[in-house]
């Protein structure tokens, strides 16, 4: 029994001495690994700030800039960790760590597929110069001013002051019309005049009214005017002209002003803008007092 105890004690001492020797031999590598981690930590902070400065020139959204900064810091620290494990000759631990990270990443990706799709879509949208906060856009049936673009959704404020929140992925997958990319918009105005009207006079008067009330229109010749059809109650026309505008509200205001001024001019010149009229004619056959041929006549 004593011999077995001494043997076990000797094995334990040999194991402890082996561990101690391994630790002593690994001290330089351990110090180097610690230095690598410290360097990775400070490098992550410096690179993160540098990324924020670069992002400030291209991205207005604070949430996205913060997310990019954090992701950059995590990537730098992760690289430092992998290098430190390699210095410590922990290749198996590094392999296990990578395998575990892959499995965890796959599980998270499947569980948060929609969320991750919106996140990546938000990052892509934030780098698009053609979509910025303050632009007036139209997409998926909604039109309004872009109020915010974050990692989850795209926020619009419509003309009636309602807020519309749209997932980023939906914005990325659908067509988007941006009214703010150009400084000019074309106004389309449709109307009709009576058949008794002098059509040449109507054309010239309409073009002069537009030219006199909009500074962007240099002369009446810049206004397009086309008669389109012989309608049921009027001869219809289409009038088109350009204005300096970047939002749908400005376009609506300009169209409203044009309608008001054209109506004033037509009233002054006695030009009629007719509306549909239906005439109902009742002949004697529908007279309630008329004798009905189907009613029998009593001769008594």
Percent composition of the chain: helix, strand, coil (DSSP 3-state, to 5) = 55, 20, 25
| Dist. CA 3–CA 166, nearest whole Å | 79
Under 8 Å between Cβ of 93 and 69: no
Task: Supply the mean pLDDT for the chain.
Answer: 79
What average pLDDT score do residues 75-82 get?
Answer: 83
25 vs 124, higher pLDDT = 124
Can you give the pLDDT at residue 62?
65
| 158 in any annotated domain | yes
Measured CA to CA in angstroms, residue 254 lies from 216, 243, 260 at distances of 11, 8, 10
Quick check: 256 pLDDT over 70?
yes
The verdict on 44 and 91 lying in the same domain is yes
What average pLDDT score do residues 110-130 get?
Answer: 72
Instruction: Write out the residue range of the structural domain in which residue 203 sits.
Output: 182-269
Residue 23 has phi, psi (to 5 degrees) of -65, -45
| 292 in any annotated domain | no
Give the CATH number for residue 227. Answer: 3.30.70.100
The verdict on 145 and 45 lying in the same domain is no
pLDDT digits 0-9 by tens, 159-177: 888 999 998 888 888 888 8
Quick check: 185 pLDDT over 90?
no
Quick check: 293 pLDDT over 80?
no
Can you give the pLDDT at residue 6?
66
| 283 in any annotated domain | no
The verdict on 15 and 64 lying in the same domain is yes
For residue 152, what are its two tokens?
Answer: 């989850």
Nearest to 209 by CA among 257, 154, 162: 257
| 191 in any annotated domain | yes
Domain total of the chain? 3
Query: How many CB atoms are located within 10 Å of the residue 205 CB?
Result: 18
> To which residue do tokens 């934030």 refer?
126
146: β partners: 156
Chain CA centroid to CA 262, Å: 37
pLDDT digits 0-9 by tens, 219-241: 888 899 999 999 888 999 999 99
């Amino acid at each position: 029994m004593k011999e077995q105890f001494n043997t076990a004690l000797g094995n334990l001492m040999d194991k402890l001495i082996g561990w101690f020797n391994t630790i002593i031999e690994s001290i330089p590598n351990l110090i180097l690994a610690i230095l690598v981690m410290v360097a990775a930590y400070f490098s992550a902070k410096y690179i993160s700030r540098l990324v924020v400065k670069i992002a400030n020139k291209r991205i207005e959204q604070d949430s996205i800039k913060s997310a990019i900064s954090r992701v950059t810091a995590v990537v730098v620290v992760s690289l430092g960790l992998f290098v430190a494990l390699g210095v410590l000759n922990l290749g198996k631990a590094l392999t296990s760590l990578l395998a575990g990270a892959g499995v965890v990443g796959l599980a998270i990706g499947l569980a948060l597929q929609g969320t991750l799709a919106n996140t990546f879509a938000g990052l892509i949208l934030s780098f698009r110069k053609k979509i910025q906060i303050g632009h007036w856009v139209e997409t998926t049936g909604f039109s309004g001013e872009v109020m915010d673009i974050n990692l989850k959704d795209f926020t619009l404020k419509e003309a009636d002051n309602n807020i519309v929140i749209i997932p980023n992925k939906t914005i990325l997958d659908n067509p988007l019309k941006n009214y703010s990319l150009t400084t000019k918009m074309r106004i389309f105005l449709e109307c009709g005049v009576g058949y008794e009207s002098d059509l040449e006079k109507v054309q010239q008067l309409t073009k002069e009214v537009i030219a006199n009330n909009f500074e962007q229109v240099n002369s009446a010749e810049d206004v397009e005017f086309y008669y389109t059809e012989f309608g049921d109650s009027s001869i219809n026309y289409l009038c088109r002209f350009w204005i300096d505008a970047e939002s749908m509200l400005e376009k609506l205001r300009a169209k409203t002003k044009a309608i008001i001024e054209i109506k004033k001019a037509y009233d002054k010149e006695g030009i009629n803008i007719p509306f549909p009229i239906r005439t109902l004619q009742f002949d004697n056959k529908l007279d309630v007092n008329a004798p009905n041929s189907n009613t029998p006549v009593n001769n008594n």
